[in-house]
Amino acid sequence: MMSERKREKPKKRILLVDDHPLLRQGITQLINDQADLVVCGEAEDRPGAMAAAEASQPDLAVVDISLKDQSGLELIKDFKARFPEMLTLVLSMHDESLYAERALRAGARGYIMKREASEKVLEAIRHVLDGGVYVSNKTAASILDKVTGRPGASAHSALDVLSDREMEVLALIGKGYGSQQIAKQLHLSVKTVEAHRANIKCKLNLRSGSELLQRAIGWAQQMGEL
């Protein structure tokens, strides 16, 4: 009996960070039904995620791009700085072609969309835990094209020119937030938010605040934010 217990491998510990309780419940059940995995904590925002990671010491954090208080990309950067040994996998509804490369640059080890089957989600989790990087074949090919300078390789979207923070500001503009609300949400000064708005307009060749708002609302609708 003792030898059997010694041979048992400890379950890999998973932290879930998503602001949708029902989704967390479903993913928790999926993971806890596995013999080699267990959910050790849950959170819906940055403070809760940082506290849960500190308390539970997970092997892997599964993070959504859209959280209550900030972008999941910023949380991934925070995780990487404070918990360098912890792995991160993005599980999101947002288009992989737009966010996967950003997530990898932020420190994530993989990206999978919520529309994928549960078996694929488990495959992604185990692949990252085993030391791999998990993205779709299409995204992997696109990244390789960019790295190797393949002729004709180009950005998937005009929004690729925006920084992660500018993308976050654009998303909040699309939700109808004003500069003061955005500043409060992202813990920035109003002056900094206004600078981001100006940079976004310049990079996207928008001539006015009205054009910026229309573009932001259109993108938010496309991404399922509205």
- From first to last of its 226 residues, the chain has per-residue pLDDT tens of 455 555 678 999 999 999 899 999 999 999 999 999 999 999 999 999 999 999 999 999 999 988 877 788 999 999 999 999 999 999 988 878 778 888 999 999 999 998 889 999 999 999 999 999 999 888 887 777 666 666 554 445 677 788 888 888 888 898 888 999 988 888 889 999 999 999 999 988 888 888 898 888 887 776 655 4
Q: Return left, alpha or beta for 109; rule: phi > 0 is left, psi -120 to 50 is alpha, else beta.
A: alpha
- Residues 87, 126: contact at Cβ < 8 Å? no
How many folded domains does the chain comprise? 2
Co-location of 121 and 179 in the same domain? no
Out of 145, 170, 205, pick the residue that ends a domain.
Answer: 145
Co-location of 166 and 72 in the same domain? no
**Beta-ladder partners of 201:** none
User: Residue 151 domain-assigned?
Assistant: no
Helix (H), strand (E) at residue 181: helix 179-186
Task: Give the closest residue to 199 by CA, choosing from 183, 188, 212, 190.
Answer: 212
Co-location of 82 and 45 in the same domain? yes
Distance of CA 218 to the CA centre of its chain: 21
Co-location of 138 and 170 in the same domain? no
Tell me what pLDDT residue 223 has. Answer: 61
Please give the model's pTM, rounded to 2 decimal places: 0.77
Q: What is the CATH number of the domain that holds 190?
A: 1.10.10.10
* Both structure tokens of 186: 């992202």
Out of 118, 145, 172, pick the residue that ends a domain.
Answer: 145
Q: How far is 147 from 195, CA to CA, in rounded Å?
A: 31
* Both structure tokens of 3: 């030898």
- Residues 166, 200: contact at Cβ < 8 Å? yes
Beta strands in the chain (DSSP E): 12-17, 37-43, 60-63, 87-92, 111-113
User: Residue 40 domain-assigned?
Assistant: yes
Question: Which residues form the domain of 201?
Answer: 158-222
